[in-house]
Amino acid sequence: MRVSQLFAPTLRETPAEAEVVSHKLMLRAGLIRKAAGGVYSYLPLAWRVLKKIETIVREEMDAKGGQELSMPIIQPAEMWQETGRWSVYGDEMFRLKDRHNRNFCLGPTHEEMITTIVRGDVRSYRQLPLMLYQIQNKYRDEIRPRFGLMRGREFIMKDAYSFDRDEAGLDVNYNKMYDAYTRVFNRCGLTFRAVEADSGAIGGSGSHEFMVIADSGEAGIVYCGDCDYAANVEKAELHPISAPAEERLPLTEKDTPDMKSISEVSHYLEVSPEKTIKTLAFRTDTGAVVLALVRGDHEVNEIKLLNKVGCIQLEMANEEAISNVIGSQAGYIGPVGIESSKDIIIVADTSVMNMHNAVCGANKKDTHYINVNPLRDFTPSTVTDIRLIQANDPCPRCGAPVKTARGIEVGQVFKLFTKYSTSLQATFIDDGGKEKPMVMGCYGIGVSRTMAAAIEQNNDENGIIWPVPIAPFHAIVIPISNKDQAQMALAEKIYNELNEAGFEALFDDRNERPGVKFKDADLIGYPIKITIGPKAIDEDQIEVKARRTGETFYFNHEEYVKGIRELLEKL
Amino acid sequence: MRVSQLFAPTLRETPAEAEVVSHKLMLRAGLIRKAAGGVYSYLPLAWRVLKKIETIVREEMDAKGGQELSMPIIQPAEMWQETGRWSVYGDEMFRLKDRHNRNFCLGPTHEEMITTIVRGDVRSYRQLPLMLYQIQNKYRDEIRPRFGLMRGREFIMKDAYSFDRDEAGLDVNYNKMYDAYTRVFNRCGLTFRAVEADSGAIGGSGSHEFMVIADSGEAGIVYCGDCDYAANVEKAELHPISAPAEERLPLTEKDTPDMKSISEVSHYLEVSPEKTIKTLAFRTDTGAVVLALVRGDHEVNEIKLLNKVGCIQLEMANEEAISNVIGSQAGYIGPVGIESSKDIIIVADTSVMNMHNAVCGANKKDTHYINVNPLRDFTPSTVTDIRLIQANDPCPRCGAPVKTARGIEVGQVFKLFTKYSTSLQATFIDDGGKEKPMVMGCYGIGVSRTMAAAIEQNNDENGIIWPVPIAPFHAIVIPISNKDQAQMALAEKIYNELNEAGFEALFDDRNERPGVKFKDADLIGYPIKITIGPKAIDEDQIEVKARRTGETFYFNHEEYVKGIRELLEKL
């Protein structure tokens, strides 16, 4: 294609709305345009990238026996009411009524729909297993859509669903998908990690997330350098930390005027933070208050806490709740003297129970206790692992210190077991004639988010650096002077030869200064830039520059196609 | 693929909801499943067909310089308010609010969105022309969704938009799209006609529809056997018919007790229908009454009438309006004595003005006039062509009698000129430095409807007969007995060989009776069925049957791939 005809409107300035680098670069490189908050048009270059990602996804799904179909985006409310998710989804679900006043939503996901289809047409174990998938727009009305395609309200997803006779079958399909995802992200040219993920209310070890490693990632991950353990920090389990035995001293109140934070208190009382108990108050969706206790130098893992409490939502309790329910004041909360009940749930991290003569808030302004001893001075409702893992914590598998990184979640595989087949009565007759619920898994890839993640991971101050397999074009041919007929003719010849050789090449035939063309090429990030100037004409030296490495090569006319082919394989 | 693993749930019975053959067969052949009225899931076989149609569309769009992009389905209200279509679309538009109470619709089309994008990024004549397209779900909340995919509420469309400097440029793009559409439907293996179409308020000869010829088609078309004229009946122009001169006789009332229809009146008064004037009363969206006059043996073309009157909607006037506004009664309406005004518009077909001594209603129960003479006895507000063309009417081009057919509209090309660029201020600076609105065209293909139309045109009592280029698979290999290891081994070998030779073949490895397999194969409509029975094993005679022609061929193992290749080219 000729650049003069390509609709790739680049911008010199970064629109003020963009916060993260992928968002900035996609706007500047003419890849996307905003229609509304979290809602974007994909312009031709972005669409080429997305089609390439989709093709890779499709090939890998098909290779594992997946069958592609396409389900409606507008979904009737009834099936969501059957599973109870019509109410659970809350404001995050886009809802609408048709002209007959019937309720619909825009599918945020398709478990209800696929299970409804399969229950209608699958009766016998002989029709199982099934792996069905689609690639389609999904809709979530995020409170704060942001970061461009990273957290949109309309986004492209590949969602797959497996149906099996039993858990052994689910394991087979789950592992196939795990392999397929590994292949997909490898083929996209991305650096990623598969990590153990929280599987919410279902529990068990039934979920992995695929994280593209990038500093801008919203997710924290930990991994072990010694063994192959890797997990989302939300999921990472921790063994309790023990502390040397001490003689229990008597519980004593201490004045701690205006000392609210752990660091203030420990400094003032001259104890290390490891000897303090941090108490955080949360409120559940049912109105109960949860006091979460961790060691002063630890953080609460809210996801673990939520799963342990078994509620749908948790938020920090406000001053009013702290004062009314606990009779305390923020900054001085502690478990001593609090009776657990259905309204007050005290959850202590396992490591807290190993502490001796600790410090904690005394539920009264400007006052802390010292010499607090668990069980003697307070009794939790639950003792369990609610700690957020940190760098250098011991690996839960091998004990070596873990490392942390930031990641962008681009895929997740998930064992659903019989959650939806039970609520939607998707049963089959097994080979013994018995009716059983199908055993399900679901598997998602954020296709548009993968494009954004690729940019987060691959860019420099000049623009995007596309991994070759998902680059919108492989190469751009730029004549230095549009006035020079010999340069124009050679540039066009090379452009044609490259396309004939199976590459996707562009010819920048615009009547622009070379600087403008080079800047656009670097901004958009084509892997290879071929410059046709006097050296090419006079000396048969074609300049080939690799966007990723910055290296420049010179090939003569006989060799350049081979040279570019070899270069693309290395980039 | 093995049929035992394919999710293609065929049904023996036709679901009662299905009225037209494509709907019945798509349900029975396991191609689609209903989620709600006019909302369907496309199961794997249908999705394969749709992908093939999409690929053909995409290749032909790209060949004409089209650039694919993808715009949002959820569209903010503001841009629709700018063009005024937020109110025009009425109940047909799906509307929703986000969590911040902002108004959105589900795109029924994308003129507003594409024009908004282009106006933001195109400033100069050097960036034009542009041809942008997408393939995407569209949404229209039809009053009566029906006929399966023929008139759905969620459907797949390819929509393209061209932007040009001037009308000459628009003509070039329009003709490119006309050619591309011709190639698309030819490549899909469909029998179709491009016909002149109504272009509504814009007028002119700026639209063609592509009609798949099928008796079940909702659209009437006419075409000339002598010249290449073809048009939607809604659009087809007609020259006035003259009548031999007669001496004008005096206007006279006649009793016509209970005679309301043209045939009753003409029979009772012993005049031919050609000597009667039919008067139909309509009501516009603004409340005016329109009296439409045509010769008794003619029909009113409501689309022509609507365009001539210049209103948005027309519906038949009810008894009340007839009695209140005209002071008449249904069955006895006529133009004599009616004064045209802003509330009563009398539109006479040109042929009516050539009539002499005609019969028409006298606006009083059981009474007609005879010897009615236009201009002497009544004066229309407008005289124009409002007649619906019929078989054997003279061709508007060459005068030869026209033929009629039914068609399914699968594509439309349309010159928008500056309608949207003016209302949305999409302007550019021309080469003389002057600001001008871009000149636009829009071009749609109903992708899912094309699949349905293909079935309407290609089926028999046993099921679908897919045109080869869009068949979900080319061939199915059926062993007669699953118990016979030699048959199973040969069938699998042939299945593998066909796939290796580049065909898409299925292997029906199910443990079912051969009758069930044959019935399913015919129902789904694979172009070629290969039966492996004793003859194949013992005599090296492989049975190959063509679904379309019913012909059976026998090939030996050396020849069958070549034989099938030749056969597929002919089907």
Cβ distance B96 to A95 less than 8 Å, yes or no, reads: yes
B139 to chain A: nearest residue by CA?
A74
Beta strands in B268-364 (DSSP E): 277-284, 289-295, 299-300, 314-316, 344-349, 358-361
Q: How far is A245 from chain B (nearest CA, A)?
A: 55
- Number of CB atoms found within 10 A of residue A485's CB: 10
Q: What percent of chain A has pLDDT over 70?
A: 99
Helix or strand run (H / E) with residue B410? strand B402-417
Cβ distance B30 to A121 less than 8 Å, yes or no, reads: yes
| Residue A412 pLDDT | 96
For tokens 């929703």, the residue is B96
Q: What is the rounded end-to-end Cα distance, in angstroms, of chain A?
A: 23
| Residue A530 pLDDT | 98
One-letter amino acid of B44: P
Residues in a beta bridge with B546: B528
A34 to chain B: nearest residue by CA?
B117
Residue A563 has pLDDT above 90, yes or no: yes
Cβ distance A98 to B94 less than 8 Å, yes or no, reads: yes
B123 to chain A: nearest residue by CA?
A9
DSSP string, A124-153: BGGG--EEEEEEEEEE---SS-BTGGGB-S
Cβ distance A44 to B143 less than 8 Å, yes or no, reads: no
B96 to chain A: nearest residue by CA?
A96
| Residue B263 pLDDT | 93
How wide is the angle at C-alpha A208 spanned by C-alphas A125 and A399, nearest 5°? 130
Indicate the pLDDT class of residue A287, thresholds 50, 70 and 90.
confident
State the DSSP code for B326: I
Best B33, B78, B164, B448 residue to mutate vs chain A (most A CBs within 10 Å): B33
Radius of gyration over every alpha carbon of chain B, rounded to an integer in angstroms: 29
Question: What is the CATH code for B252-388?
Answer: 3.90.960.10
A121 touches chain B (CB under 8 A): yes
| Residue A204 pLDDT | 54
| Residue B203 pLDDT | 52
Residue A202 has pLDDT above 70, yes or no: no
Residue numbers in chain B where pLDDT is lower than 50: none
Query: ipTM score here?
Result: 0.92
pLDDT-wise least confident of A207-221, A317-331, A465-479: A317-331
Cβ distance A9 to B113 less than 8 Å, yes or no, reads: no
| Residue B205 pLDDT | 60
Cis peptide upstream of residue B396 (ω within 30 degrees of 0): no
How wide is the angle at C-alpha A110 spanned by C-alphas A104 and A113, nearest 5°? 70
A126 touches chain B (CB under 8 A): yes
Residues in a beta bridge with A276: A359
Radius of gyration over every alpha carbon of chain A, rounded to an integer in angstroms: 29
Decide which of 1.10.510.10, 3.30.930.10, 3.30.110.40, 3.40.50.300 is the CATH code for A45-235+404-455.
3.30.930.10
Report the distance separating Cα B72 and Cα B75, nearest Å: 6
Best B89, B98, B162 residue to mutate vs chain A (most A CBs within 10 Å): B98
- Residue B511: is it exposed, middle or buried by C-beta count within 10 angstroms (0-12/13-18/19+)? exposed
Which of B503, B518, B507 lies closest to B550, judged by CA?
B518
Domain B473-570 classified CATH 3.30.70.260? no
Q: How far is B99 from chain A (nearest CA, A)?
A: 6
DSSP string, A156-222: EEEEEEEEESSHHHHHHHHHHHHHHHHHHHHHTT--EEEEE---GGG-TT-EEEEEEE-TT-SEEEE
Residue A571 has pLDDT above 90, yes or no: no
Rounded mean pLDDT, A264-275: 94
DSSP three-state, residue B245? coil
| Residue A9 pLDDT | 97
Which of B215, B214, B174, B172 lies closest to B196, judged by CA?
B174
Cβ distance B104 to A36 less than 8 Å, yes or no, reads: yes
State pLDDT tens for residues A5-20. Answer: 999 999 999 888 898 9
Q: What is the rounded end-to-end Cα distance, in angstroms, of chain B?
A: 23
| Residue A124 pLDDT | 96
Report domain A252-384's class: alpha beta
Rounded mean pLDDT, A521-548: 97
Q: How far is A317 from chain B (nearest CA, A)?
A: 24
CA quadruple B179, B185, B190, B191: dihedral sign: negative
Residue B59 is encoded by which pair of tokens?
A: 């290749």
Rounded mean pLDDT, A303-318: 89
| Residue B201 pLDDT | 58
CB A28 within 8 Å of CB A523:
yes
Residues in a beta bridge with B505: B475
Q: Long-range contacts made by residues A504-507, C-beta under 8 angstroms, separation at least 24?
A: A504/A472, A504/A473, A504/A474, A504/A475, A505/A473, A505/A474, A505/A475, A505/A476, A505/A477, A506/A1, A506/A2, A506/A3, A506/A6, A506/A473, A506/A475, A506/A476, A506/A477, A507/A1, A507/A2, A507/A3, A507/A476, A507/A477
**Domain extents in chain A:** 45-235+404-455, 252-384, 473-570
Indicate the pLDDT class of residue A214, thresholds 50, 70 and 90.
very high
| Residue A474 pLDDT | 98
CB A381 within 8 Å of CB A347:
yes
A41 touches chain B (CB under 8 A): yes
Residue A216 is encoded by which pair of tokens?
A: 């801008």
State pLDDT tens for residues B295-323. Answer: 999 999 999 999 889 888 899 999 888 88
Q: How far is B136 from chain A (nearest CA, A)?
A: 10
B8 to chain A: nearest residue by CA?
A121
CB B467 within 8 Å of CB B454:
yes
Best A93, A98, A130, A512 residue to mutate vs chain B (most B CBs within 10 Å): A98
Report domain B44-236+404-454's class: alpha beta
Indicate the pLDDT class of residue A121, thresholds 50, 70 and 90.
very high
Report the distance separating Cα A8 and Cα A31, nearest Å: 7
Interface size between A and B, measured as CB pairs under 8 A: 142
Cβ distance A121 to B35 less than 8 Å, yes or no, reads: no
| Residue B242 pLDDT | 87
Q: How many CA atoms, within 13 angstroms, populate the side-chain half-sphere of residue A58? A: 15
Report the distance separating Cα A134 and Cα A372, nearest Å: 57
Report the distance separating Cα A169 and Cα A440, nearest Å: 9
- Number of CB atoms found within 10 A of residue A272's CB: 11
B47 to chain A: nearest residue by CA?
A69
Q: Which of A43, A71, A139 sits opposite B69 (nearest CB)?
A: A43
| Residue A199 pLDDT | 78
